[in-house]
Chains A and B, each alone.
Chain A
Amino acid sequence: MKGLRARLAGAIAAVLIVGLLLPGGALGGPKSEFVAVAGMWSPPNNFNPINTDSSYGFYCVRFMFMGMVEARVENNQTKFFPALASRWEVGADNQTYTFTIHPRAAWHDGKPVTAEDVLFTLMTISDPRTETNRGAQIASIAGLDARGKRAAGAQLGFRILEPRKFEIKTTTPVDPTMFLEMFGANVYILPKHVLGDVPPDQLARHLFFHNPTVGNGPYKFVQYKTDQFVEFVLNESYHLGAPNVRRVFVRIIPPTTMLAQIERGDLDVSAGFGIGEVMIEDWDRVKGMGHVRAVSFSAPGYQYMLFNFQRPYLQDKRVRRAFAHAINRSLIVNQLLKGEGELAEGPIPPANPYFNKKVRPWPFDTARARALLTEAGWDFNRTIILRVPTGNIIRERSADIIRENLIAAGVKVEIQKADFPTNMAAVRAGNYDLGLMGWAGPTDPDVSSQYRTGGQYNLSHHSIASLDQVLDEGVKTADPAKRRAVYDRFQEVFADELPTITLYYPNARTAVTKRMVNVLFDASGLFDFQTYRWVAGTQ
């Protein structure tokens, strides 16, 4: 027994020693008015501004890195504010853009941010050897092909005018709002003096993106404790003025315990749309908490239903219209989302400046659906497959409502669920009839990648001439007023053709502690991009 006791003691000691081997904690005092904690569901994969594959990584990146401008939707207009650039001019031809970098804009190691850094970033993204996900954002720049890659021997439409001033030319005239959002707000600048010598094909694996100590944004990277939290500290010399909150922790908190963290006051902000929200079943409870503001806002994300156009029986417009009439979308929003969502017939959100109010969703009408199906010669004995990716509980529940609705209209439906990658593979291979999918896009209304023939995310495999025509016109139209008219027309064509059915636009449901002010969510973003404006009081 003695031996046993000694062994047990040894085991306990071993546990304690292993415990001590765990890296120690962060420095800093207890939570005060200078500390804020944001919570998101999953860990970031890396902190690579041009290649982070998830919104989780991106949420962290934007504390540390910036683009030339910041885009915000105000009074139904996309407006641009200085970020790295203090001034920008659009040439009369809508093809020449001049940016002046803020005189005090600097990297976290003190080196100035220059036009060379911008050029380096563009050359890196357009290099056919670089792993990146920003190619589409720069495709309009002269010298690059439609995929944002440098053609051999092509001259990039980029000229350095002064160390902190440069000019970019686009291949054709484009709407300045589109260019400013894509290049200006969505391309974050990389430090040439740190990464300039890294071979492009090695860049994605560079350890800098796991320890990005040289950024250009309002916050500096301190540490990332795997799967637990990312820590940032304010950048004292941030060129637009140091933030009020000294230290920000982004904690990784599973959806199941986020409510407990909010209730205890451990969490100040839930990160935002699709990465850290209040679960719908907890929503009423959060609304009732005294120390928290429950903020719901229209986000640019939506859920939609795909038709597989490779199936001849889904190519008839009347069949798709029948499905739109058959599905009770208001019921989904009212029951599953407790009313926290909106309906629209099209891929441009109601909160977007380009939203066409005149286009109404097809009303719920089972009898009309049945009549249209009969008219189109639908085979009522046919069973079709509805593919549903798991992971989004509300979407999974909505599949059951959709199935019931379609059965009521006489359509036999079988649901097949699979995890996201499996489901995606089936959809890409055209191995389905109907599919549920989610999407979140930028403010710019160009949705060619999803709805144009051969578009990269055209998962329906559809090819509709009238849609292609209006989408191409939208990209080519440089005059903002005319362009708006084109997208108004696009939404009409969309509702008529129904390449997909837009099921609902869920609001993002977030919780913000009342001790924080200036936590702002707007329709341009999935989350609050302006964390440097956060102001916290003591609890």
Chain B
Amino acid sequence: MQRYLIRRALVTIPILFGITVMSYFIMSLTPGDPVQMLINPGMSQADVEIKRRALGLDRPVHVRYAKWLNELVHGNLGYSYSTGAPVTKRVGERVAPTLTLTVSALVLSYLIAVPIGVVVATRRYTWIDYAATFFAFLGISLPTFFLGLAGIYVFALRLRWLPVGGTMTLGGEGGLLDLLLHLALPATVLAVAGAGALTRYVRSSMLEVLGQDFVRTARAKGLAQAVVLRRHALRNALIPVVTLAGLQIPALLGGAVITEQIFEWPGMGRLTIEAINQRDYPVLMGITLITALLVTLGNLLADITYSLVDPRIRYE
């Protein structure tokens, strides 16, 4: 296991290097540059040239990349073109809000999907199965944009139970209750969107297990249906479902662009869109690097979890 981990870690380095090279060069091919798009009547031509030089945009792309890489090796991700703040600060301050939203949504989607998935698997082809399928597909196919706005209309505008957006009440004390109130709508919207697919997943995984010999044996022993489901079937059925969570780690940090936009949530998804619109290359590179790291880590975690929950898998 240890040797396996070391090997995986070593493979990661050239992969990350390749990703940064490709991202940097593809990015530089994007039409439009961060200085050229600035339109300000008060700005003179000299101001534009000074800015271009200050950001290093007057140099060829390979020189810029080498400089960026050199800074990176020294632990510096550079400065944002558009705000002048260090990239680490711009990206760092979004980690907590992003995780708060995405992890809550993930947990919520499991809480919705697992019970429903199990129930419909045991009641296959009944009205309850069809109803669940219908709602699952509704969840999958309704755009979060629509769900979000509908949620705002009902809960914030008509019933006035929840705020329209943000993470805290203006001028309020903040605190956990306030946060939960603000979290309720965006997390639910994200969870509903994710729960649809997950329900189908749990259902099929459960059906597969229920058809296996050891479940028949358990029933033959005269165990109650509930015990069979809980002690024997569900545990095995959830193995692949739990692994899914590991694979979702990068998505968790990537944030949820549309949901964050609608609910004024200060997350990573919004930052990415902002950075693209402003052609803020250093910030985009920072996000790319962190995402790439997380994807490799997520994959590794998923593999390790698999070997933990499934004794048949061994890594050497």
**Chain A residues packing against B (C-beta within 8 Å):** 1, 4, 8, 11-12, 14-16, 18-31, 35, 37, 42-43, 45-46, 48, 51, 53, 128-137, 139, 145-149, 186, 201, 204-207, 209-210, 225-229, 247, 249, 251-254, 256-257, 260-261, 263-264, 266, 418-426, 428, 439-442, 449, 456-457
30 A-B pairs (CB sep. < 8 Å): A4-B234, A12-B107, A15-B100, A15-B104, A18-B96, A19-B179, A22-B97, A22-B174, A22-B179, A25-B168, A30-B171, A30-B172, A45-B82, A131-B47, A132-B47, A133-B38, A133-B40, A135-B44, A147-B46, A205-B85, A225-B168, A228-B168, A228-B264, A229-B166, A251-B264, A254-B165, A264-B164, A425-B33, A425-B37, A457-B41
Q: Which of B37, B99, B263, B274 has the most C-beta atoms of chain A within 10 angstroms of its own C-beta? A: B37
Among B9-17, B121-129, B149-157, B288-296, the stretch that binds chain A is: B149-157
Task: List 9 additional A-B contacts (Cβ < 8 Å) besides A148-B44, A227-B271.
Answer: A1-B235, A19-B179, A45-B83, A147-B45, A229-B170, A251-B264, A257-B164, A260-B156, A449-B41
Q: Which residues of B contact A441 (CB under 8 A)?
A: 41
A257 to B152, CA, bound (A): 8
Among B48-56, B64-72, B134-142, B194-202, the stretch that binds chain A is: B48-56
Q: B36 near A: Cβ within 8 Å?
A: yes
Q: Which residues of A contact B176 (CB under 8 A)?
A: 16, 19-20
Please state if A25 and B44 are interface contacts (CB–CB under 8 Å).
no
Please state if A424 and B54 are interface contacts (CB–CB under 8 Å).
no
Instruction: Write out, one digit per residue, whether chain B residues 276-294 have a CB within 8 A of any chain A CB (1) or not (0).
Output: 0111000000000000000
Q: Which residues of A contact B33 (CB under 8 A)?
A: 421, 425
Q: B314 near A: Cβ within 8 Å?
A: no
Q: Which residues of A contact B249 (CB under 8 A)?
A: none
A440 to B42, CA, bound (A): 11
Q: Count CB-based A-B contacts (< 8 Å).
A: 228
A210 to B271, CA, bound (A): 17
Instruction: From A15, A251, A420, A423, give the contact of B170 (CB < 8 A).
Output: A251
A205 to B261, CA, bound (A): 27
A439 to B163, CA, bound (A): 35
**Chain B residues packing against A (C-beta within 8 Å):** 30-34, 36-48, 50-51, 54, 79, 82-85, 93-94, 96-97, 99-100, 103-104, 107, 110-111, 149, 152-153, 156-157, 160, 163-176, 178-180, 183, 230-231, 234-235, 238, 261-266, 270-271, 274, 277-279
Instruction: From B46, B83, B93, B149, give the contact of A149 (CB < 8 A).
Output: B46
A180 to B175, CA, bound (A): 48
Please state if B32 and A147 are interface contacts (CB–CB under 8 Å).
no
A261 to B152, CA, bound (A): 10
Q: Which residues of A contact B100 (CB under 8 A)?
A: 15, 18-19, 22
Q: Which residues of B contact A1 (CB under 8 A)?
A: 230-231, 234-235
Residue of B at shortest CB range from A28? B171
Please state if A147 and B266 are interface contacts (CB–CB under 8 Å).
no
Instruction: From B47, B152, B173, give the contact of A136 (CB < 8 A).
Output: B47
Q: Which residues of A contact B153 (CB under 8 A)?
A: 260
Instruction: From A4, A14, A251, A424, give the contact of B166 (CB < 8 A).
Output: A251
Residue of A at shortest CB range from B105? A15
A204 to B288, CA, bound (A): 25
Please state if B42 and A186 are interface contacts (CB–CB under 8 Å).
yes
Instruction: From A15, A18, A210, A227, give the contact of B270 (CB < 8 A).
Output: A227
Residue of A at shortest CB range from B97? A22
Instruction: From A19, A51, A249, A422, give the contact of B180 (CB < 8 A).
Output: A19
Q: Which residues of B contact A426 (CB under 8 A)?
A: 31
Please state if B50 and A131 are interface contacts (CB–CB under 8 Å).
yes
A464 to B174, CA, bound (A): 60
Q: Which residues of A contact B271 (CB under 8 A)?
A: 227
A441 to B43, CA, bound (A): 12
Given contacts A136-B47, A257-B152, contact A422 B168 (CB under 8 A): no
Instruction: From A25, A134, A148, A206, give the contact of B169 (CB < 8 A).
Output: A25
Q: Which residues of B contact A18 (CB under 8 A)?
A: 96, 99-100, 103
Please state if B277 and A135 are interface contacts (CB–CB under 8 Å).
no
Please state if B279 and A421 are interface contacts (CB–CB under 8 Å).
yes
Please state if B104 and A263 are interface contacts (CB–CB under 8 Å).
no
Given contacts A147-B44, A205-B79, contact A226 B266 (CB under 8 A): yes
User: Smallest Cβ distance from B30 to chain A, in angstroms?
Assistant: 7
Please state if A260 and B46 are interface contacts (CB–CB under 8 Å).
no
A286 to B223, CA, bound (A): 65
Residue of B at shortest CB range from A137? B42
Please state if B170 and A249 are interface contacts (CB–CB under 8 Å).
yes
Given contacts A29-B171, A421-B279, contact A226 B93 (CB under 8 A): yes
Residue of A at shortest CB range from B265? A227
Please state if B172 and A205 are interface contacts (CB–CB under 8 Å).
no
Please state if B170 and A31 are interface contacts (CB–CB under 8 Å).
yes
Residue of B at shortest CB range from A11? B107
Residue of B at shortest CB range from A12? B107
Q: Which residues of B contact A51 (CB under 8 A)?
A: 84
Given contacts A18-B103, A229-B170, A260-B157, contact A253 B79 (CB under 8 A): no
Given contacts A28-B171, A227-B264, contact A204 B84 (CB under 8 A): yes
Please state if A131 and B51 are interface contacts (CB–CB under 8 Å).
yes
Please state if A37 and B170 are interface contacts (CB–CB under 8 Å).
yes
A227 to B98, CA, bound (A): 12
Q: Which residues of A contact B265 (CB under 8 A)?
A: 227
A442 to B36, CA, bound (A): 21
Please state if A46 and B103 are interface contacts (CB–CB under 8 Å).
no
A227 to B101, CA, bound (A): 15
User: Smallest Cβ distance from A154 to chain B, in angstroms?
Assistant: 14
Please state if A43 and B274 are interface contacts (CB–CB under 8 Å).
yes
A421 to B107, CA, bound (A): 39
A15 to B54, CA, bound (A): 41
Q: Which residues of B contact A439 (CB under 8 A)?
A: 39
Please state if A420 and B174 are interface contacts (CB–CB under 8 Å).
no
User: Smallest Cβ distance from A2 to chain B, in angstroms?
Assistant: 10
Instruction: From A16, A26, A134, A135, give the contact of B172 (CB < 8 A).
Output: A26
Q: Which residues of B contact A207 (CB under 8 A)?
A: 85
Closest CB pairs A-B (n = 5): A421-B32, A25-B174, A147-B46, A227-B266, A135-B44
Please state if A425 and B36 are interface contacts (CB–CB under 8 Å).
yes
Instruction: From B99, B103, B170, B263, give the contact of A26 (CB < 8 A).
Output: B170
Instruction: From A27, A134, A146, give the contact of B42 (CB < 8 A).
Output: A134
User: Smallest Cβ distance from B181 to chain A, in angstroms?
Assistant: 11
Please state if A24 and B175 are interface contacts (CB–CB under 8 Å).
yes
Instruction: From B32, B84, B164, give the contact of A425 (CB < 8 A).
Output: B32
Q: Which residues of A contact B230 (CB under 8 A)?
A: 1
